[in-house]
Amino acid sequence: MSPDAMRPRRGLPRVAREETPGKLIVIEGTDGVGRSTQIERLAPWIETRGHAVVQTGWNRSLLVSKLITSAKEGTLLNKVTYTLLYATDFADRLERVVIPALKAGMVVVADRYVGTALARGAVRGVDRAWMQGIYAFAPEPDLTIQMRLGVDALLLRTLDRTRLNYWESGMDQHMGEDIYDSFIEYQGRMISEYDRLAEARGWKVVDAARSIAATQLEIRRIVAPLLGIPGDRIGLEPPPSPDA
């Protein structure tokens, strides 16, 4: 085997990040922190500033999303299978959605990325080095933003919109006597893992405890320089239509 063949590859086979002129923006954070709400506002704003946008998110692969949903309806999914199912979802979306969009020069806004996989795996006791090896094919984002919310505020926000979820409460790992205790423990560990990744990888951290508008404004201020958007065009409202 040649020395070149033995070197670890970055990106999918035959795909180099320098060959993809688009931009990859990732929004990370725990469930219930408000990622989807912020992305719903961020993506149209980017488009009104002259950039084509593609969105992607966790468990949206046409290949395995239904399988993941079905598998999580039970409670017997072990941590390795859990990890590999989401890795399959990620790889399929990367090949079918993310890489083509980046090659076309588009802006990809991803609702969670490798960081979520690494955090979930670490909290469940999956070997970190093994996890990093699984996701070694993933291109590095141009920008990652962690939306951060303390666990007590996260609990209140989650209960305000829905009931506690078995998997997002870490019940599969028996982290508490009941689902509430387990949620606090699991999400506390998840936040710690996100914090560790943010420091190690240079993520931008946004305080998600503020209003939707204030959080969105800070995210736009972080995104604007990457896309060459002038500071005076960061307003919360899109520019008026020419026909208005």
Give the global pTM. 0.86
Candidates 242, 243, 239; CA nearest to 47 is 239
Q: List, in order of start, the domains of the chain with CATH numbers.
A: 20-229 (3.40.50.300)
> Which 8-state DSSP code applies to residue 238?
P
Per-residue pLDDT of the chain in tens (244 residues, 90 and over written 9): 443 443 444 445 556 677 789 999 999 999 999 999 999 999 999 999 999 999 999 888 888 888 877 877 766 678 888 889 889 999 999 999 999 999 999 999 999 999 999 999 999 999 999 999 999 989 999 999 999 999 999 999 888 877 888 878 888 888 888 999 999 999 999 999 999 999 999 999 999 999 999 999 999 999 999 999 987 778 766 444 444 4
Pairing mode of beta strands 53-57, 107-111 = parallel
Distance, C-alpha 5 to centroid of its chain: 31
Measured distance CA(202)–CA(179) in Å, rounded: 33
Q: Which two tokens stand for residue 5?
A: 């063949």
Candidates 64, 188, 84, 210; CA nearest to 135 is 84
